[in-house]
Amino acid sequence: MIFQDPMSAFLPVRRIGAQITEQIRLHLPLSRKEAHTRMVALLGRMGVPSPAQTALRFPHELSGGLRQRAMIAMALSCEPDLLIADEPTTALDVTVQAQILTLLREIGEREASVMLITHDMGVVAQSCTDVAVLYGGVVIETGPVSSVLSTPRHPYTQALLRAIPPLSGPRPSQLPVIDGVPPSPENRPAGCVFAPRCPYVETRCEKRPDMRLAGTGEAYAETGGAHEVACVLYP
């Protein structure tokens, strides 16, 4: 797993290289020297300059981008099948964000499946093939990125996309918002989790809807029946 804030995920009083080497030795039958060689090679593969020297530095001595690369190196150190990236570009400038996302795409193509957790729909469009939209800890829409972003079906997904500032045309005086507040994970509504804030709520929403195909016809046939939504507005 790649954590959202590598500064707090790494131990502040141990050198970066020592922490990655320890992870390798805990999970793989390698000697200290072999683990150190693997650690340096991993840092280099992640684009860390002078990896042997960088490995001797403490977390606070690295930039945010380098810390994130070191965190990715640690996550890949034992050859996982699945890499979970939790908001991996938070607090990084745009150029470094692009570099990290490019790195994650390359990992997804060659080394491991990547699950990206993010609220940035631009990152989803750029980096993902499939998307699952969650609200209140419940999956409410899934499908290929191209289908979900071009024809969002759940009222929450639609509201999310409406809230993105437009890049062209007249600038709105106020961004659309979703009235109300998200539910507490300990006190979710018994029915549809979005019902208290949904502009289309009706009596049927008192029962939690199952996932169902998001429509019919050629547009949905193109997705192979993969675009699904948990909403009673769709039969």
Amino acid at 172: P
**Cα 46 to Cα 72: distance, rounded to the nearest angstrom:** 8
Alpha carbon of residue 32 to chain centroid: 33
147 pLDDT exceeds 60? Answer: yes
CA gap 34, 32 in Å, rounded: 6
The string of pLDDT tens digits covering residues 15-63 is 999 999 999 999 999 999 999 999 999 999 899 999 999 999 999 999 9
pLDDT for residue 96 is more than 90 = no
To the nearest whole percent, how much of the chain has pLDDT over 70? 95
The DSSP bridge pattern shows strands 228-229 and 212-213 to be antiparallel
Over 80: is that where the pLDDT of 113 sits? yes
Model confidence, pTM: 0.83
Which pLDDT tens digit goes with each residue over 5-15?
Answer: 888 999 999 99
CATH of the domain spanning 6-127:
3.40.50.300
Q: What is the pLDDT of residue 167?
A: 82
Cα 88–Cα 94–Cα 97 angle in degrees, nearest 5: 25
Helical pair 64-76 and 16-27, crossing angle rounded to 10 deg = 10
pLDDT confidence bin for 222, thresholds 50/70/90 = low
* In the predicted structure, residue 186 carries a pLDDT above the cut 60: yes
Q: Find out whether 135 and 193 touch, Cβ atoms under 8 Å.
A: yes
The ranges assigned to domains in the chain are 6-127, 132-229
Give the model's confidence band at 201: pLDDT under 50 very low, under 70 low, under 90 confident, else very high: very high
- Give the whole-angstrom CA distance, residue 21 versus residue 29: 12
What is the pLDDT averaged over residues 117-136? 92
Q: How would residue 220 be classed by pLDDT, with cut points 50, 70 and 90?
A: low
